[in-house]
Chain A
Amino acid sequence: MFSKVLIANRGEIALRILRACRTLGIGAVVAYSEADRESLAAQLADEAICIGPADAKRSYLSAPAIISAAVVTGCDAIHPGYGFLSEDEHFAEVVRAHDLTFIGPSAEVLERFASKEATRRILSAHGLATIPGSGMLRDEAHALEEAARVGYPVLIKPSAGGGGKGMRLVRTPRELETTFKVSRSEAMAGFGDDSLYLEKFLEDNRHVEIQVAVDRFGHAIHMGDRDCSVQRRHQKLIEETPSPALSDVARKDLAEKALRAVTAAGYENLGTLEFLVDAKGKAYFIEINCRIQVEHPITELCTGIDMVALQIKIAAGEKLGLTQADVVSRGHAIEFRILAEDPAKDFRPQAGQVGDYLAPGGPGIRMDSHLYPGYEVPSYYDSLLGKLSVWAPDRPQAIARADAALRELLVDGIVTNIELHRAILANQVFVDGKVTTSLLDRVGSAPFVAAGNR
Chain B
Amino acid sequence: MPAPLGAAKPGPTDPERTLRIQQDHDAIARLADELLPALIAKLASGGLGEIEVRQGGWKARLRKLATVPEPNKAATAEIAAHARGVGHGRPGEREGRGRDPKEAQQDKVVAMSPAVGIYNPRRDLAVGMRVRAGDKIGTVDVLGVQQDVVSPVDGIIGSSLAEAGEAVEYGQELVRIEPPEQAPTSEAAAGVAAAGPEAVAVAGKA
Contacts and interface: CB of A to CB of B under 8 A. Distances in A.
Contacts of B97: 37, 43
Nearest to B119: A72
B116 A65 contact: yes
A54 B89 CA distance: 13
A40 to B, nearest CB: 13
Interface residues of A, number: 25
B92 A72 contact: no
Contacts of A51: 116, 169-170
Nearest to A96: B2
Contacts of A72: 116-118, 167-168
B74 to A, nearest CB: 18
Nearest to A74: B167
B199 interface: no
A97 B172 contact: no
B2 A97 contact: yes
A52 B8 contact: no
Contact of B143 (A34, A49, A59, A68): A68
Interface string A54-68: 110001000111011
Nearest to B114: A52
Given A50-B170, A97-B4, A68 B142 contact: yes
A94 B172 contact: no
B92 A64 contact: no
A407 interface: no
A98 B142 CA distance: 12
B95 interface: yes
Contacts of A94: 2, 4-5
A49 B2 contact: no
A38 interface: yes
Most buried by B among A37, A43, A64: A64
A50 B116 contact: yes
Contact of B169 (A49, A53, A54, A67): A49
A427 interface: no
A374 to B, nearest CB: 11
A384 interface: no
Nearest to A49: B169
A338 to B, nearest CB: 24
Given A35-B91, A38-B92, A69-B116, A64 B8 contact: yes
B116 A68 contact: yes
Contacts of B90: 34, 37
B199 to A, nearest CB: 20
A73 B167 contact: yes
A28 to B, nearest CB: 16
A94 B91 CA distance: 31
A67 B143 contact: yes
A4 to B, nearest CB: 13
Given A49-B116, A68-B117, A69-B116, A63 B5 contact: yes
Contacts of A69: 116, 169
A47 B96 CA distance: 15
Nearest to A42: B97
Nearest to A37: B92
Contacts of B200: none
A63 B10 CA distance: 12
B188 interface: no
B84 interface: yes
A71 interface: yes
A49 B167 CA distance: 10
Given A38-B95, A97-B4, A64 B84 contact: no
Contacts of B2: 94, 97-98
Interface string B86-127: 000011100111000000000000000001111000000000
Interface in A274-315: none
Interface in B124-173: 142-143, 145, 167-172
Contacts of B117: 68, 72
A102 to B, nearest CB: 14
A184 B188 CA distance: 60
B52 to A, nearest CB: 15
B95 to A, nearest CB: 7
Given A38-B92, A68-B143, A71-B143, A50 B115 contact: no
A420 B97 CA distance: 37
Nearest to B9: A64
A98 B145 CA distance: 14
A230 B95 CA distance: 40
A35 B9 CA distance: 22
Contacts of B143: 64, 67-68, 71, 98
B157 to A, nearest CB: 24
B170 A53 contact: yes
A59 B85 CA distance: 12
Contact of B115 (A35, A68, A73, A97): A68
Given A94-B4, A97-B4, A65 B92 contact: no
A52 B115 contact: yes
Contacts of B118: 72
A52 B170 contact: yes
A55 B5 CA distance: 19
A63 B91 contact: no
A65 B168 CA distance: 12
Most buried by B among A54, A63, A72: A72
Given A53-B170, A65-B116, 5 more contacts: A34-B82, A37-B92, A49-B169, A52-B115, A64-B115
9 contacts: A34-B92, A37-B96, A37-B97, A53-B82, A55-B84, A64-B8, A65-B170, A71-B143, A72-B118
8 tightest Cβ-Cβ pairs between the two chains A and B: A72-B167, A37-B92, A97-B2, A50-B169, A69-B116, A50-B170, A68-B116, A64-B5
